[in-house]
Amino acid sequence: MRRLLARLLGGRDPVLSQASMRDSGALAALHAHSFHRGWSEEEFERLLADRGVLAHRAMIGRRLCGFIISHMVEAEAEILSVAVSQRHRGSGIGRLLLALHLGRLTALGIKVVFLEVDEANEPARRLYRRAGFHEVGRRSGYYAGPRGATSALVLRRDLV
């Protein structure tokens, strides 16, 4: 429904592909808009130069509207970050990015994926729940938020 509305209002479908070092600047800008502590362009460059790092991007036209990035060690991966630009949230881009990313991790031989999410981050928790992640740990009071400290949930998904 949201997608149909976006199309009627002139929105375009996102195009998903693997991200490369050339995307570092755009990734850093979107990250900075999405999190309290942004990662610099140099940090993204370092990450994307690492052969153990996998990243995907979503583009609408020539603009980056979302990304997901993870780090792989042997048969395990950790999702380090995922973000969708504010104006495109809630239209399924996060779900598309995560599905593509998990498919690629599976193809690369990854068997299990972990990530950490703020318990107060309802959109992210819904995204991961829908993708089959479940809670395997909790770090109490890990995030300092405007309404007090919240816990970090450690989520896991086994890939088959």
Ligand X SMILES: CC(C)(COP(=O)(O)OP(=O)(O)OC[C@H]1O[C@@H](n2cnc3c(N)ncnc32)[C@H](O)[C@@H]1OP(=O)(O)O)[C@@H](O)C(=O)NCCC(=O)NCCS
Residues lying near ligand X in the complex (CB under 6 A): 34, 82-84, 89-95, 117, 121-124, 126-127, 130
Parallel, antiparallel, or unpaired: how do β-strands 112-118 and 76-84 relate? parallel
Instruction: Closer to ligand X by CB, 74 or 92: give it.
Output: 92
Q: How far is the CB of 150 from ligand X (least distance, A)?
A: 12
Name the residue whose CB lies closest to ligand X: 94
E-strand ranges in 22-131 read 53-60, 63-73, 76-84, 112-118
Q: How far apart are CA 55 and CA 79, in angstroms?
A: 10
Q: How far is the CB of 2 from ligand X (least distance, A)?
A: 8
Q: How far apart are CA 61 and CA 15, in angstroms?
A: 8
Q: How far is the CB of 124 from ligand X (least distance, A)?
A: 4
Instruction: Closer to ligand X by CB, 47 or 117: give it.
Output: 117
Instruction: Closer to ligand X by CB, 72 or 127: give it.
Output: 127
Q: What angle do CA 127, 41, 24 make, to 5 degrees?
A: 65
